[in-house]
């Protein structure tokens, strides 16, 4: 399909998408917020008074939701892209894979945190296997980081793409966490390989 045909289809689909419409009405920057809301409703991740890291945060709907709905939280967000300001959020623009930025996050908290969220994904290439692999590399980096920064009873939520790397991700998650669930929110597009792992309690 030609590029301008793809983008016309994309615009048409966005207009039809009820989650896009709902996010506009409710003032969220992205439909992605409804995935976090569904995950939280099912797995009870977010609470008042906790510390949270939001990896791959731009344009910012997850951080917006947390900042709006929870009191006395300590929230750090990081993305490669610049993000408009969000209340009560320490925002970092940078590559999470770079240890300098991981140190910046740890230095900010100075102690272990309650929750690490990762919605990180690279721009899709059109080659599904390449996309599966690049997203799973981001997930693995976030897993290692979580092991280091989370409290013993902390939670880790991470986007994955279902495919060739699934068994490897599950194996690595099980080495770090006691409880792992896989969940595809209904707001995650049906045709997409996207899903989430919800991991709790460090080993
Ligand atoms: C699906 S979007 C996240 C949407 C976000 N949860 C929201 O609610 O607005 C994925 C994001 O991951 C970011 N990302 C990908 N690789 C990254 C990396 N190495 N470091 C930081 N962010 C990264 C992308 O820039 C992109 O903004």
Span 118-163, pLDDT tens digits: 999 999 888 888 999 999 999 999 999 999 999 999 999 999 999 9
pLDDT digits (tens, 9 = 90+) for 153-195: 999 999 999 999 999 999 999 999 999 999 999 999 998 999 9
Q: How far is the CA of 174 from the centre of ligand 1 (A)?
A: 24
Query: How many beta carbons lie within 10 A of that of residue 20, not counting itself?
Result: 15
β-pairing verdict for 150-161 and 113-118? parallel
Please tell me the pTM assigned to this model: 0.94
- Candidate list 35, 41, 47, 159, residue with the active-site label: 159
CA distances from 126 to 1, 131, 192 (A): 11, 8, 12
Q: Is the CB of 80 under 6 A from ligand 1?
A: yes
Q: Is 34 in the pocket of ligand 1 (CB under 6 A)?
A: no
Is residue 159 annotated as a catalytic residue, yes or no?
yes
Confidence of residue 2 (pLDDT cuts 50, 70, 90): low
- Which position has the higher pLDDT, 14 or 142? 142
Give the separation between CA 82 and CA 158, rounded to whole angstroms.
21
Question: 118, 55 in Cβ contact below 8 A?
Answer: yes
Look up the CATH number of domain 29-202: 3.40.50.150
3-state helix, strand, coil in the chain (%, to 5): 45, 25, 35
Q: Which residue out of 30, 52, 57 has the highest number of ligand 1 atoms within 8 Å of its CB and is therefore the one to mutate?
A: 57
What pLDDT was estimated at residue 157? 98
For atom 11 of ligand 1, which residue has the closest CA?
56
d(CA 124, CA 202): 31
Alpha-carbon distance of 115 to 150, in angstroms, equals 7
Q: Which whole-number Å values give the CA distances from 43 to 39, 121, 148, 179, 196, in the listed order?
A: 6, 22, 22, 12, 12
Measured in Å, residue 81 CA sits from the centre of ligand 1 at 8
Q: What are the pLDDT digits (tens) for 145-155?
A: 999 999 999 99
Cα-to-centroid distance, 168 and ligand 1 (Å): 22
């Amino acid at each position: 399909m030609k590029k301008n045909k793809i983008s016309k289809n994309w615009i048409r689909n966005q207009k039809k998408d009820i989650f896009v419409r709902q996010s506009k009405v409710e003032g969220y920057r992205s439909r992605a917020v409804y995935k976090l809301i569904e995950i939280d409703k099912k797995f009870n991740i977010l609470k008042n008074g906790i510390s949270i890291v939001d990896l791959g945060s731009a344009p910012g709907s997850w951080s917006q939701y947390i900042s709006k709905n929870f009191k006395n939280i300590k929230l750090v967000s990081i993305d490669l892209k610049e993000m408009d300001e969000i209340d009560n959020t320490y925002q970092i623009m940078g590559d999470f894979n770079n240890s300098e930025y991981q140190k910046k996050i740890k230095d900010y908290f100075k102690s272990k945190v309650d929750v690490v969220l990762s919605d990180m994904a690279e721009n899709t290439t059109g080659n599904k296997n390449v996309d599966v692999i690049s997203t799973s590399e981001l997930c693995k980096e976030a897993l290692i980081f979580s092991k280091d920064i989370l409290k013993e009873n902390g939670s880790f939520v991470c986007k994955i793409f279902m495919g060739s790397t699934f068994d490897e991700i599950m194996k690595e998650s099980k080495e770090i966490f006691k409880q792992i669930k896989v969940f595809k929110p209904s707001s995650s597009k049906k045709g997409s390989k996207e899903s989430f792992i919800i991991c709790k309690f460090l080993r």
